[in-house]
């Protein structure tokens, strides 16, 4: 099998790069002294130079060659890049200097079926170049599946900063070219309705991708960076779900089109989020942190919550207006999903979207999803009559109250899979309390290169983690079955 590949990866400059740079400039203006990384690097260089100048000790600190210096410089640049395009270009240079391209150029590996990938690649390319669009459509309809030949295995993406085997990259590129050929080439003599139906069936076979934003209180601000980067690369999925703090960011994104999103992301750090306002008092006039703590403590004793919900309601209405889930879907094409948990212990968690709650007001769903018990009071979800625009409680049930959606279902992966054929999830988990229970393998995601020894150690630790967690879950289930908690 020939191992020649012609893929030349490129990342084009987009106007969205300005969003990232603007956000970083605003951050720097707010934190002008946050340059510890560059200061530490300069201090390290001065220390190394001083040690090398000593008569005897200097022999133990040899001067770095040009290649080593270039690698270190690129690593530092990689840490402070402000856009994916800059990070991508820097990482390509690192792969070249570190010799990672040799591994990528060799298609052979025990991790995936390279013969199958090579065979499918040649079949599609031959059909496209021969203008056999019927055969090409047949290949797309029958052979396009997610993770074909195990090419999505995480171990294929830990040997280089950018990409994986060039054979896999070439296959993905050929899939893109074949799809573009069927859709845009005038020689394709297929009925548009028939072609659309075949491609929709293919999408059902492949499955869809969803972006899921977790709760996390003020840590939800990190969601903005993820969304900005995906928007910059034109990779935002159409299906977006959010709970608690994630529902705030998800709803704002799904209610604005691309042009409005570009402007919104550029200025979002200047927006005022009066989420934690209290109706009967201007907390900004309270001097001293201790007095504020006493005031909020008194508010909690009196009302059972630290904050009122009105501040959050006013903020979300300012961003969203009275848009419903169906109106937002018709306006932007994005499928917004918000999880809410009924205050009653006998009710199940609800996933609100344009199918399950088409006329519900999005701002009310966000407020319900953010109603953390003890922090915000539980609240109702409201809907708008599509004919009269009259607003009333959802299903005219005034007694039904809802609380934080992340209480019972922070990441509604199963429900999304059932409703929208989602089988690939981009999960943004910002809750700090989940860090201790994350699998060790997560640490190699994000362009980090690791050798086989590190991988084997992580694999061993993962096995230990799986054993301990399964045992803990087993004994907790036993205690639940025996109703031990009632005795205690």
Q: Supply the residues annotated as catalytic.
A: 244, 404
Among candidate residues 380, 306, 338, the one with its CA nearest the CA of residue 215: 338
Is the Cβ–Cβ distance between 352 and 340 less than 8 Å? yes
d(CA 407, CA 205): 33
Q: Helices (DSSP H) in 207-348: which residue ranges?
A: 222-232, 245-254, 258-267, 289-303, 310-320, 325-332
Structure tokens at 284: 């900004």
Long-range contacts of 126-130 (CB under 8 A, 24+ apart): 127/178, 128/174, 128/177, 128/178, 128/181
Is the Cβ–Cβ distance between 405 and 246 less than 8 Å? no
Structure tokens at 146: 């997610």
Helix axes 133-143, 114-129, angle to 10 degrees: 150
Looking at residue 212, the DSSP 8-state letter turns out to be: E
Tell me how far apart the 2 most distant CA atoms of the chain are, in Å.
88
How far apart, in Å, are the Cα atoms of 17 and each of 8, 13, 182, 231, 302?
22, 7, 31, 10, 49
DSSP string, 102-166: HHHH----SSS-HHHHHHHHHHHHHHHHTT-HHHHHHHHHHH--TTGGGTT-GGGGSSSSS---H
Listed in order, strand segments (DSSP E) in 157-237 are: 208-213
Looking at residue 278, the DSSP 8-state letter turns out to be: B
d(CA 240, CA 253): 9
Distance of alpha carbon 362 from its chain centroid, rounded? Answer: 21
Q: Which residues contact 332 (CB under 8 A, 6 or more apart)?
A: 254, 255, 256, 257
Structure tokens at 238: 């159409």
Helix (H, G, I), strand (E, B) or coil at 436: helix
Question: Buried b vs exposed e over 177-212: b needs ≥16 C-beta within 10 Å?
Answer: ebbebbeeeeeeeeeeeeeeebbeebeeebbbbbbb
């Amino acid at each position: 099998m020939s191992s020649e590949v012609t893929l030349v990866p490129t990342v084009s400059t987009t106007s969205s790069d300005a969003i990232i740079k603007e956000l970083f400039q605003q951050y720097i203006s707010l934190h002008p002294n946050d340059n510890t990384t560059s200061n530490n690097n300069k201090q390290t260089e001065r220390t190394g130079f001083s040690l090398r100048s000593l008569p005897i000790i200097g022999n133990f600190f040899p001067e770095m060659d040009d290649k080593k210096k270039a690698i270190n410089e690129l690593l530092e640049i990689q840490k402070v890049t402000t856009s994916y395009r800059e990070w991508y270009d820097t990482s390509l240079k690192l792969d070249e200097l570190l010799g990672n391209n040799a591994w990528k150029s060799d298609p052979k590996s025990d991790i995936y079926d390279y013969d199958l990938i090579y065979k499918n690649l040649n079949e599609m390319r031959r059909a496209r170049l021969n203008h056999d669009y019927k055969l090409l459509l047949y290949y797309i309809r029958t052979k396009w599946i997610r993770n074909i030949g195990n090419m999505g295995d995480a171990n294929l993406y830990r040997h280089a900063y950018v990409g994986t085997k060039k054979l896999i990259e070439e296959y993905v590129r050929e899939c893109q070219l074949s799809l573009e050929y069927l859709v845009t080439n005038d020689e394709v003599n297929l009925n548009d309705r028939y072609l659309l139906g075949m491609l929709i069936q293919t999408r059902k076979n492949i499955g869809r991708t969803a972006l899921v934003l977790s709760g996390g209180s003020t840590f939800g601000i990190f969601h903005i960076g993820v969304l900005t980067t995906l928007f910059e690369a034109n990779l935002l999925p159409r299906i977006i779900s959010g709970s608690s703090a994630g529902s705030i960011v998800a709803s704002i994104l799904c209610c604005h089109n691309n042009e409005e999103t570009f402007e919104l992301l550029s200025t979002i750090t200047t927006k005022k989020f009066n989420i934690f306002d209290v109706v009967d008092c201007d907390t900004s006039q309270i001097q001293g942190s201790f007095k504020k703590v006493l005031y909020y403590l008194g508010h909690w004793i009196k009302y059972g919550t630290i904050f009122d919900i009105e501040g959050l309601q006013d903020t979300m209405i300012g961003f969203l207006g009275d848009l419903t889930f169906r109106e937002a879907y018709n306006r932007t094409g994005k499928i917004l999903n918000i999880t809410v948990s009924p205050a009653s212990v006998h009710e199940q968690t609800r996933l609100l979207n344009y199918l399950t709650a088409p006329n519900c007001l999005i701002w009310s769903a966000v407020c319900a999803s953010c109603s953390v018990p003890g922090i915000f009071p539980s609240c109702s979800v409201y809907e708008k009559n599509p004919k009269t625009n009259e607003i009333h409680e959802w299903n005219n049930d005034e007694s039904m109250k809802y609380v934080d959606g992340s209480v019972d279902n922070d990441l509604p992966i199963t429900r999304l899979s059932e409703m929208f054929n989602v089988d690939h999830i981009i999960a943004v988990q910002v809750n700090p309390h989940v860090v201790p229970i994350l699998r060790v393998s997560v640490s190699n995601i994000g362009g980090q290169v690791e050798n086989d020894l590190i991988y084997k150690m992580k694999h061993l630790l993962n096995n230990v983690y799986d054993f301990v967690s399964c045992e803990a879950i087993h004994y907790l289930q036993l205690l639940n079955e025996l109703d031990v908690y009632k005795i205690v």
